[in-house]
Structure 1
Amino acid sequence: MAPASGIFAVPSGALVRLATTRQRAHDIDLLQTALHSRRLVLFKALLTRVGRDGTPADARAAFDRDWRLLARAESPAPAAARGLLDYPAVGGWVVDALNAPGPDGLAAALHPLGGIAVATALRTGARLDTVLPTADGRLVLPGVGVQDARAPRVRIRSGPRGTLLTPVGHPARSVLLRTGGSGAGAGWRPLAVLPGSAGRLDDLGTGHAPAVDVTRRPDRALWLTRWRAAVSLLESADPWRAVEVTRLVRSVVPMAPVDKGAEGASSGTLRAAPWAVHTALPDTARRFAEVLVHELAHSKLAVLADLVALHHADGAAVHRVAWRADPRPLDGVLQGTYAHLALADLWSRVAERPGAGPVARRTARARREEYRAQVADALPVLLDSDQLTEHGVRFTVSMKQHLTSLGSGSNSPYALSDSLSRDGDVR
């Protein structure tokens, strides 16, 4: 595994552009590079913990085998391997493993590393020939799919043309995967591709994802139809935002619906798994488009916050905001303000797009004003807190300036029944 890069500097211009929620391509390149560097640091931290924390001998031997497999899988094409190592589910797994309690908890958490190595080999064409244990008869390849092997072990033989997965003792359930992940065989369930993007509908989850519904499989056709409709809406209303969503969203993870009146969010973002959107199925294309923009903003800010300190708050939940009933820590205020600014920006552009009819324009302006009001209410909480760093002040002032540029107006008389007040938790 290649060493992690050194310290990253965030140019002032990049910080300002990111604060507007409409950054340039090279600003995202900076975030992607920083994310990959952090991911490698986490992998090395896991290697250190395994060697230090008294991991049981059999688990340590399995980890050493899988670590060597991963190094071998990465070596032919490190750039191709990076796409898999940076996949959201891999980030969720490595953080779960690092946080596993005690040697026995760590030993149990290490199992997925072999599947990560095989999924990496599918991207790089590396030659592997090994036998891996399954978990309850299943072999999970993050970002690719899952094999219901119905066997305790699977033999893996991979090379430039693909990978053969053969359940030991059950050769009739073999699966042949081509380089890139397409394939077929008894018991094979690939992840569905999100149309028009490189992302996946990932019903395997991302490790410690909140409220993933594991009791039943989602209706993939319905999810993909609604994704297409949401992207189509963005393309017609805000083409730049549509491109951002289709390029950056790596996975959409179905969540169990939240009952009305129950605590919890209907969508969320994990700091360990940027570019993954965790959500219950939105009931309309417009709602899905809002969720995608909202949660993608959380991912961008989560990666940026790992790159540059924006505040030095202690996490105490003491601040009231318009979109939540419960008090929020300063970091939650910052995250929510940024995500709602992205929605104000979206609806501002929808309202002013050429060809919009009077009713559509009024509705879009009403939505813009609701989100503008929420952001305007939260900005003084941030700026008056004395807990922002110099970078955090610059970032927040830039958010305020962008909000002003979106126009002004009186409080909207239009009530939105499906506002995002229950969404956007970053965990």
Structure 2
Amino acid sequence: MAPASGTFAVPPGTLARLAATRQRPHDLDLLHAALHSRRLVLFKALLARVGRSDLTPAARAAFDRDWRLLARAESPAPGAARRQLDYPAVGGWVVDAINAPGPDELAAVLHPLGGIAVGTALTTGARLDTVLPGTGGRLVLPGIGAQDVRASHVRVRSGPRGTVLTPVGRRARSVLLRPDGRGAGAGWTALAVLPGSAGRLDDLGTGHLVATDTPPRTDRAAWVTRWRAALTLLSAADPWRAAEVTGLLRSVVPMAPAGEGASSGTLRAAPWAVHTALPDTARRFAEVLVHELAHSKLAVLADLVTLHHADGSAVHRVAWRKDPRPLDGVLQGTYAHLALADLWSRIAERPGAAPAARRAAHARREDYREQVADALPLLLDSHQLTEHGVRFTVAMKQHLTSLGRGPNTPYALSDSLFGDGDVR
């Protein structure tokens, strides 16, 4: 596995644009590079964790096999392997593995590594010929699909033209996977494409790599239809934001409805994945996408620069939650709600909007503006923000003030807002 790179510098202009929720492509390049570097660090930490754990000989041999497979799968094309290794669920899995409480729990959570290696080989064209155990009767390739092998083991043969999966000990037709991830054969189901994007509807359990049970099947047609409608709304009202969503999103992971609880969420270890129950309207789906991807951006940024030194002991009341929130939760929520205020500001100002629609959008914008305006003093008066956190929060406040005051531009904040020099 390629070594992780060194520290990353965050230019002041990048910090300001990210705070305004509207960044340039090279700002995202920095976030993607930082995410990949962290992902490699996590894999190295997993290797160290396994090395000092009291695993059974069988569990250690299985891990060593899968680790070698992953290294072999990555070697022909590390750049292509990067996208597979950066898939959101892979990050969630490796963090779960590192944090497994004991050797038995660690051994149980290590099984998906073989599927990660196979998915990487499919991407890079690496040649593999191995036999892997099925987990709960399934072989999961994160971000690609899953095979119901109905056997204890599956033979994997992979090369530049694709990958063949053959259940061992069963008279079943092999699955042939093409390098683009499409495939056919006994028990194979690919993830559904979210049209107009590189994202997938991750409804097969590849978004929850530790789970061994087959998840309930979703109504894919309903999800894709609502996704299309949400994307159409975003594209008509705010093409820049629509392009951000389609460019950043890697997966939508269906959740069961949570009643009065949260119906969507983001895992810090798995940026660019949106976990959500099926929103009941296109408007609500668009809001969920913008809101949760804002959380992802801030999660990656927070791994680059320290924004606060709060320990979570102090909690604060915010308008969008009934329960008190630690400072980090206030910061995350303020940022995500600023993105929604920005979205509705542009919807309200779009040319040709009907008066009733414009009034409704203005009301939504003002609701989110009030929530953000109430939270900003909590952050600025907390005395727990770092210098970088103060700069970031001041930039959020400036962007909030700019909403609704004339034409909005994607880059309302100057690159030189905070002067010269890098933020490290």
TM-score (norm 2): 0.93
SS in 2 for 1:172: coil
Number of the residue aligned with 1:192: 192
User: In 2, Cα distance between the equivalents of 1:84 and 1:109?
Assistant: 19
Number of the residue aligned with 1:207: 208
Per mean C-alpha deviation after superposition, the further-off stretch among 315-324 and 227-236 is: 315-324
CA shift in 2, pair 1:138/1:173, >3 Å: farther
Q: How does 1:277-356 map to 2 (within 5 A)?
A: 277-316=274-313, 318-356=315-353
CA shift in 2, pair 1:90/1:108, >3 Å: same
1:53 deviates by 1.5
Q: Is the contact made by 2:136 and 2:213 (CA closer than 8 Å) also made in structure 1?
A: no
Number of the residue aligned with 2:41: 41
Q: Is the contact made by 2:342 and 2:403 (CA closer than 8 Å) also made in structure 1?
A: yes
1:208 deviates by 8.0
Number of the residue aligned with 1:424: none
Q: Is the contact made by 2:73 and 2:128 (CA closer than 8 Å) also made in structure 1?
A: yes
Number of the residue aligned with 1:130: 130
- Gaps of at least 5 residues in structure 1 are 409-427
AA matched with 1:165: L
Deviations 1:5-47 (A, max 9, x none): 0011111110000000000000000000000000000000000
Deviations 1:221-257 (A, max 9, x none): 1101100110010000000000000010000000000
Q: Is the contact made by 1:212 and 1:256 (CA closer than 8 Å) also made in structure 2?
A: no
Q: Is the contact made by 2:112 and 2:209 (CA closer than 8 Å) also made in structure 1?
A: no
Please state if 1:59 is matched with 2:56: no
Per mean C-alpha deviation after superposition, the further-off stretch among 48-57 and 333-342 is: 48-57
1:62 deviates by 0.6
CA shift in 2, pair 1:41/1:64, >3 Å: same
CA shift in 2, pair 1:115/1:212, >3 Å: closer
Q: Is the contact made by 1:213 and 1:254 (CA closer than 8 Å) also made in structure 2?
A: no
1:206 deviates by 3.0
SS in 1 for 2:94: helix
Total equivalences in the alignment:
404
Please state if 1:394 is matched with 2:414: no
1:130 deviates by 0.2
AA matched with 1:280: A
Q: Is the contact made by 1:149 and 1:173 (CA closer than 8 Å) also made in structure 2?
A: no
User: In 1, Cα distance between the equivalents of 2:44 and 2:208?
Assistant: 19
User: In 1, Cα distance between the equivalents of 2:70 and 2:95?
Assistant: 17
Q: Per chain length, whose mean CA-contact separation is higher, i.e. which structure has more relative contact order (CA < 8 Å, sep 6+)?
A: 2
User: In 2, Cα distance between the equivalents of 1:76 and 1:213?
Assistant: 33
Number of the residue aligned with 1:20: 20
Q: Is the contact made by 2:341 and 2:366 (CA closer than 8 Å) also made in structure 1?
A: yes
Deviations 1:172-191 (A, max 9, x none): 24101011210100110111
Number of the residue aligned with 2:226: 226
AA matched with 2:345: S
Q: Is the contact made by 2:143 and 2:206 (CA closer than 8 Å) also made in structure 1?
A: no
Number of the residue aligned with 1:404: 401
Deviations 1:342-370 (A, max 9, x none): 00000000001111111111110000000
User: In 2, Cα distance between the equivalents of 1:171 and 1:85?
Assistant: 33
Number of the residue aligned with 1:420: none
1:335 deviates by 0.2
Q: CA RMSD in A?
A: 1.5
Q: Is the contact made by 2:287 and 2:340 (CA closer than 8 Å) also made in structure 1?
A: yes
Number of the residue aligned with 2:175: 175
Q: Is the contact made by 1:213 and 1:256 (CA closer than 8 Å) also made in structure 2?
A: no
1:213 deviates by 11
CA shift in 2, pair 1:283/1:378, >3 Å: same
Number of the residue aligned with 2:141: 141
User: In 1, Cα distance between the equivalents of 2:212 and 2:398?
Assistant: 38
